[in-house]
Copies of this chain bind each other. A is one copy, B any other.
Amino acid sequence: MGKEFVVTPWDVSGNVDYNKLIKEFGLRELKGLPKVFQENVLFRRKIIFAHRDFERIVEAIEKKKKFAMLTGLMPTGKFHIGHMILAQQIIFYQKLGADIYVAVADLESYNTRGQSLEEGRKIAVEEYIKNYITLGLKPEKCEIYFQSDRSRDGEKSGAYYRLANLFGRHATFNEFKAVYGDITPGKMVSAFLQATDIMHPGLKEFSGRVPIVVPVGVDQDPHLRLIRDMTNRLKEPDLILPSSTYHYFIQGLKGGKMSSSDPTSFIALTDSAKEVETKIKKYAFSGGKDTVEEHRAKGGNPDIDVSFQYLRFFFEQDDKKLAQIEEDYRSGKLLTGELKKITIEKINAFLKEHQARRAKIIEKDIEKFLY
């Protein structure tokens, strides 16, 4: 607590005080949700902890009205467990009846990371879409699209890109700088596309005037504030301000952010059992004490232990078992090596089944998602 921390779209450091963030960003705590949300580990364990305007989504779910969910993916690097937090939410909202939109930010990766569209398409399919399908995403009421190629339907394509260009009038350079730190023409183009990705499901050519939920990490909230401001100025009657939810960061193995360029910072969904074992044993930041004696005496700290966090976020779905592990680790009964062993087993059991199912995906399965 009390310790200084930084949360901006381009830097997250220090010990984040999430309650303070709620106040600073003007978010609201997520509570009093319908029972169905208890089925999802991320909501049940308050890993998704705050929101803006989420009551519209709750109302749509309760009254069985139409709503949409939008998220994006940056088609670079490997699909790793850091990406699972959004994937799990996509699939959960699909089960709740949402129209699902997934934007492949290939123009953003071209404009801000110098990656070709061809490479972006390959990574999107191999790393992201195949894993989404394996995790349970269905093609019904689901559009995965590339920013560079929104639709083969000219009306839809026109509506999407028209919106992107209309946003040009409704922001200033200073607003961009506040969100992006520094700004280039390529980043600005990407910002207008991001706003369009989030808002366009509301256009009549898509889901129409419906509430849209956008799940994000809390560091991304400045983007959403800018998009809300631009949308307010645009005065397009079909666009309702987006609802958003905010989840905790998933720490990289060594603490800090996961980085695509550093494979020892994450576990990829294509990692082998041996790789997982090595990565957890060697790199996973531990909340344990320096010696067995000290650990037995004073206990470990699961709140900062990366292995425990991975169990909590994804791999131990049973609340009772998780609570037992937490209690045992905190008391010192469970040693770090033992906790890591549990984590390795859990991850590898998951990956074994996941990889077997992923291997069976064929071209035709993928095509169902891309017009």
Residues in B neighbouring A185, C-beta threshold 8 A: 168-169, 171-173, 176, 188, 192
- Tell whether A153 is near chain B: CB-to-CB under 8 Å: yes
Q: Which one of A44-52, A62-70, A142-150, A238-246 contacts B?
A: A142-150
- Tell whether A136 is near chain B: CB-to-CB under 8 Å: no
- Tell whether A186 is near chain B: CB-to-CB under 8 Å: yes
List 12 other contacts, CB 8 Å, given A161-B164, A173-B184: A107-B168, A111-B168, A117-B162, A147-B165, A149-B158, A150-B161, A154-B154, A161-B161, A168-B185, A168-B188, A176-B185, A185-B192
- Tell whether A21 is near chain B: CB-to-CB under 8 Å: no
Name which residue of chain B comes closest to A230, CB basis: B185
Chain A: interface secondary structure?
helix
Q: Are B165 and A148 in contact (CB under 8 A)?
A: yes
Give the size range of A's interface with the partner.
35 or more
Q: How far is the CB of A185 from chain B (nearest CB, A)?
A: 5
Q: Are B152 and A168 in contact (CB under 8 A)?
A: no
Residues in B neighbouring A161, C-beta threshold 8 A: 150, 157, 161, 164
Residues of chain A from 260 to 289 with CB closer than 8 A to chain B in the complex: none
19 residue pairs from A and B, CB less than 8 Å apart: A107-B166, A110-B169, A111-B165, A111-B166, A114-B169, A117-B162, A147-B165, A148-B158, A148-B165, A148-B166, A151-B154, A153-B154, A157-B157, A157-B158, A157-B161, A161-B161, A164-B165, A172-B185, A173-B184
Known: A173-B184, A189-B192. A107 touches B165 (CB 8 A): yes
- Tell whether A190 is near chain B: CB-to-CB under 8 Å: yes
